[in-house]
Structure 1
Amino acid sequence: MFTTSVVALLAIAGPLMVWPDAGDRFVARSYELLTSQLGVVYIWAGTAVIGFVLWLAIGRYGTVVLGQPGAPPRFSTASWVSMVFCAGVATGILYWGTVEWAHYYTGPPFGVEPRSPEAIEWAATYGMFHWGPTGWAFYCLPTLAIAHAYYVRGQPNLRVSSACHMVLGTQTTGVIGRIIDTLFIVGVLGAAGTSLGFGTPMIAAGVGRLFGVESSFGLQAGVVALCAVLFSASVYVGLERGIKRLSNINVALTKTLLLFVLLAGPTLFILKMSTNSVGLMFYEFLRMNTWTDPLADSRFIEDWTVFYWAWWVAIGPFMGIFVARISEGRTITQVVFGMMGWGSLGCAVYYGVLGNYALHLELNGLLDVTGLVFNQGEPAAITAVIASLPAGNIVLGVFCLCSLVFLATTYDSAAYALAASASTGLAHDEEPERWHRMFWAFALALLPLALMRLGGLDPMRTASLLASVPLLGVFVVMAVSLVRALQADE
């Protein structure tokens, strides 16, 4: 599997590095074609996956333990939630949580008039929806399938293909199994590219504002290098002393940041708007989850909801392997409600505090956030929003630090998942070989850096979304395999 992984890495990245412009055009056109033709399939998938995992959680299989019966969970709930959340959201939660509303405010869904009071409500709500229960349900399915196959059914490898063993049979280790695991690698590489694509310019813009320098490739390379040092050290020492501690530190830092923004900003507006958004999302959840915009065809669905669902699907297998590794001893119910509940709540808090603070600046004429977003880009808008707080430079420094640690926690989780997947016969209490973990840590850092130097991360990011198309089929196979395995164990 290690050789296959390296070959897949070179086969995917090589053409994009040698022919970046042609590769960019090809993957962009392919993705646009697929979203326009298959967008409704992603909408169906979002509805189906949330129904499926809830059926597992509240039904007779909810008490099934992912591990030895009676064995306690390997990690405390607090540490488990921290690792799951940090791996699953990366810097995207700080990036989009601050400014995503600006896109919905100026281009709202459901034919609402832009910049109207109704548009304001939807702008504050739709980000919570895209980072809410449906997205986390896409993470839950591979987690349950992989964990059950590994801990309960005794599959020797922590791989996506192993989660399909009740359907694939001997092909689990054959050509079909290798194809499935290769798609997983594409998703992880794309996730790495996307995280850097969002996080690096944002951190560089913040550092540039703090020290009065312009953002450049050199500055962005320095951000990547510092991030690489953090997550390489974390991966080197393993789950207990590395990934767990870094995730706990990250959660503590961001809690402090959010509390400061809440108290130093327009507290009452943030609380009222956040409460209103949560209520609106749950009241309109079925409509939002099934809306396809069949008449106006405004491309809101393709540009946002389908994009997000494709993104969750693309990195779902990576999250499945990582969360399965840390979920030994937990029941299916605990995993489903833990991921969907805590994950959705955490994202809602980020969107509620950061997004509504920025929205307040816009609505009260204190800062033209939408103008900054559309004229100078999201990183410039984000740094301006954070710097507008009391002690703005200090808060901006903390924000950049949180963003850097978020990048590192996602990367160390990805490197660990790749190493675990490429390892053969990994016992439940064993870590992947240290050299193996370090190889993937450096590969995940160097590949996006090379692509950035050649002109951007968009081709790799879009390639990961293209991988989500066949992965939808893999999700179906995992679901069928999991149900068959649960039935066989009764």
Structure 2
Amino acid sequence: MAPRPPRIDRTAFGVSVGLIVLVCAPLALAPQAGGALVVQAYESLTERFGLIYQWATLAVTVFLVWLAFSHHGKRRLGHEDSRPDFNIFSWMAMLFCAGIGAGLLYWSTIEWVTYLDKPPFELAPNSTEAVEWAATYGIFHWGISAWALYCFPAVAIAIPYYRQHAPVLRLSTGLHALIGRDGYDRPPARIVDVLFILALVGGTGTSLGLGTPMVAACVSEVLGIAQTFGLQVTILLVCVTLFAASVYLGLERGIKPLSDGSILAAIALLAFILIVGPTNFLLRSGTNSIGLMLENFIRLNTWTDPVARTGFIEDMTVFYWAWWIAYGPFMGLFVTRISRGRTVRQLILGMLVLGTLGCALFYAVLGNYSMHLDLSGALPVRDIAAQAGSETAIAQSIGFLPLGTLVLAVFALVAIVFIATTYDSASYCLAASATRNLPEGTHPARWHRLFWAVAVGILPVTLMFIGQEGGNDQLRVIQSATLVVSLPLLVVGALMAVSLMRSLREADRESET
């Protein structure tokens, strides 16, 4: 008898869609009040829970390093004779593109502006120390700790899915040892899966809300047209169409080749900037930043700014940790799906080491290039960012290169493809989470994947609208939305840790018998 095709989980689907509409509609109808409310929630939550985000991030990082080098690290995801479905390049390309999106292009190029003007550790603005930390802090925020927050859900979901044959691929799969095989249709598991869907839609909304205006600024510079809200929506529709087509085609024919192509294009772009840009400065500053981050890794993870209370931690570090936590469950599901045949150690080290190195490369090249333009007086990047916005500063920095118009067009194309590869992966995971039965080797229905590809475009339009039309700081609104949707996942993460430890102990008992 042929296996039954995957069926939609009407409860998870209906509740999730209903809540998304209930959240987006009031924000769109009252953008000024909605934006102010979201920002107020951000400030309150960072004050009360910011320290918990820092503790959780450090604990997860230490735990994963221990797990990778323990005897559990040798366990294979799947049967012991299973081999990886994808080669190392395609596997890394898919998880890297899924995890970083256009947000990496945005922040790696412009994040140093914040740190140079308002440096950490009460350093003097524009000082030599501030310059060094401006080139370093972004690498930390996109480094080992960030990828640990991505990796933990992947491990917590992959082990029960492949080793204990969990019947579904959802966030609640990470609670398998607590809820059992019969617990996936009960209220606790349903609540967890709905929380995941809401958090992922919120997380993807924030990244699209950053990447789309940046692409619009590039298009504006190339074509010489005004950068308007309508242009941003048009760009967003192009991105949604692209990743809808990709997710409809599936992993092998859609997501995999798109990820491979985007990584190759990004490598070519970085190589061009490294060669024609201030090569010596890029190499020296990048090397210095890696050393500075490693030397102060514990300090960076535990600095809470308890005396001066400058707001640096709340505005940047807590925002980033919240962003990774909001995205973490999605990465857990997607990485689980593409990691059959790999060992737990390969999974952890691949994400923590290769993911960190990939992000560091973007910061070392793009960030140091734009910072050098400003420090050398070639282009007042900080003034442009203050007067016209960060996305315009990014576009003008890239356009300052030789063959600037062509390079800017390539940069915009890479950003669009990065957006697409992130959200086709997200759409796949959303469809999987709202599917009732999805055993190993099966996929959600195509129409279901296509629906979520369109649905994830709703929130970023809303966020851009309340940021632009509601008179609010668009970046602040996006940061606030990220934190709000990530908070419930802290509780889910703690439960997943308990479940994972039970699964590991059960695996030890089975190996002894």
Q: Which residue of 2 aligns with 1:123?
A: 134
- Gap change, CA 1:305 and 1:241, over 3 Å in 2: same
Which residue matches 1:236? 248
Q: Tell me which residue corresponds to 1:139.
A: 150
Contact in 1 for aligned 2:205/2:457 (Cα 8 Å): no
Residue by residue over 1:282-326, the C-alpha shift from the partner in whole angstroms, topping out at 9 and shown as x without a partner, is: 000000010001111111100111110011111111111111111
Describe the superposition over 1:225-274 as per-residue Cα deviations: whole angstroms up to 9, x where unpaired. Answer: 21122101101110001000000010011000000000000101100000
Q: Which residue of 2 aligns with 1:89?
A: 100
> 435-444 or 125-134, which moves further after superposition?
435-444
1:73 to 81, 84, 89: 84
Residue 249 (str. 1) matches residue 285 (str. 2)? no
Normalising by structure 1, we get a TM-score of 0.97
CA distance in structure 1 between the partners assigned to 2:479 and 2:22 by the alignment: 15
Any residues of structure 2 matched to 1:356-367 within 5 Å, and which? 356-367=368-379
Which residue of 1 is the match for residue 284 of structure 2? Answer: 272
Of 163-172 and 118-127, the range deviating more from structure 2: 163-172
Distance 1:475 1:145, change over 3 A: same
Mapping 1:79-478, distance limit 5 Å: 79-169=90-180, 172-449=184-461, 452-453=464-465, 462-478=480-496
Q: Deviations over 1:364-387 (max 9, x none)?
A: 111111111222110111011101
Matched, 1:481 2:499: yes
Q: Provide the C-alpha distance between the structure 2 equivalents of 1:136 and 1:450, rounded to a whole number of angstroms.
A: 28
> For the residues of structure 2 that align with 1:461 and 1:123, how far apart are their CA atoms?
20
Secondary structure, counterpart of 1:173 in structure 2: coil
1:10 to 2:21 alignment: yes
Cα root mean square deviation, aligned: 1.5
Equivalent of residue 33 in structure 2, options 22, 28, 34:
22
User: Where in structure 2 are there 5+ consecutive unaligned residues?
Assistant: 1-11, 469-473, 509-513
Distance across 1 between alignment mates of 2:250 and 2:496: 28
Q: Distance in 2 between matches of 1:351 and 1:129?
A: 10
For 1:97, the aligned partner's letter is S
Contact 2:141 2:320 in 1 (8 A): yes
CA distance in 1, matches of 2:47, 2:253: 45
How far does residue 445 in structure 1 lie from its aligned partner after superposition? 2.3
CA 1:285 to 1:151, structure 2 compared with 1: closer, same or farther past 3 Å? same
Task: Give secondary structure in 1 for the equivalent of 2:136.
Answer: helix
Q: Identity percentage over the alignment? A: 50
Measured after TM superposition, the shift of residue 154 of structure 1 is 1.5
Distance 2:418 2:288 in 1: 28
Unaligned runs of 5+ in 1: none
Question: Does the CA-based 8 Å contact 1:8-1:182 persist in structure 2?
Answer: no
Deviation of the 1:455 alpha carbon: 5.3
The CA deviation at 1:447 is: 4.3
Task: Label 1:117 to 1:459 Cα distance change in 2 as closer, same or farther (>3 A).
Answer: closer
Range 466-475 or range 304-313, more displaced? 466-475
Once the two structures are TM-superposed, the CA of residue 398 in structure 1 deviates from its matched residue by 0.4
| Superposed displacement of residue 450, structure 1 | 5.1
- Conserved in 2, the CA contact under 8 Å of 1:187 and 1:318? no
Going from structure 1 to structure 2, the CA distance change for 1:174 and 1:18 (only over 3 Å counts) comes to farther
Aligned-pair CA distance for 1:454 = 5.8
Q: Which is worse superposed, 374-383 or 17-26?
A: 17-26
Gap change, CA 1:296 and 1:390, over 3 Å in 2: same
1:452–1:280 CA distance, 2 compared to 1 (3 A): closer
Distance 2:196 2:172 in 1: 9
Which whole-Å CA distance do the structure 2 matches of 1:485 and 1:164 have between them?
Answer: 10
Distance 2:429 2:410 in 1: 29
Contact 1:43 1:290 survives alignment (8 Å) = yes
Q: Are the aligned partners of 2:109 and 2:370 in contact in 1 as well (CA < 8 Å)?
A: yes
Higher mean C-alpha displacement, 211-220 vs 258-267:
211-220
Alignment-derived partner of residue 511 in structure 2: none
Contact 1:20/1:459, CA 8 A, preserved across alignment: no
Instruction: Give, as a single letter, the amino acid of the residue that structure 2 aligns with 1:164.
Output: L
Please state whether the residue corresponding to 1:28 is helix, strand or coil.
helix
Aligned pair count reads 490
C-alpha distance in 1 between matches for 2:374 and 2:225: 26
Distance (whole Å) between structure 1 residues aligned to residue 479 and residue 23 of structure 2: 12
Distance 1:460 1:124, change over 3 A: closer
Which stretch has the larger CA shift, 246-255 or 479-488?
Answer: 479-488
Distance 1:451 1:300 in 2: 23
Residues 15-24 or 391-400, more deviating: 15-24
In the TM superposition, 1:42-81 aligns within 5 A as: 42-81=53-92
User: What is the CA–CA distance in structure 1 between the aligned matches of 2:135 and 2:38, rounded to whole Å?
Assistant: 31
Contact 2:175/2:495 (8 A) holds in 1 = yes
Instruction: Tell me, in whole angstroms, the C-alpha distance in 1 between the residues paired with 2:359 and 2:442.
Output: 32
CA contact (8 A) 2:34 2:466 kept: no
Question: TM-score by structure 2 length?
Answer: 0.93
Letter in 2 for 1:138: L
Amino acid at match of 1:105: L
Counterpart residue type for residue 474 of structure 1: V
Q: Distance in 2 between matches of 1:273 and 1:452?
A: 34
2:175 maps to a residue whose letter is: C
Task: Give me the whole-angstrom Cα distance separating, in 2, the residues matched to 1:394 and 1:307.
Answer: 34
Deviation at residue 424 of structure 1 after TM alignment:
1.8
User: What secondary structure, in the 3-state scheme, does the structure 2 residue paired with 1:425 have?
Assistant: coil
Give the Å deviation of 1:463.
3.1
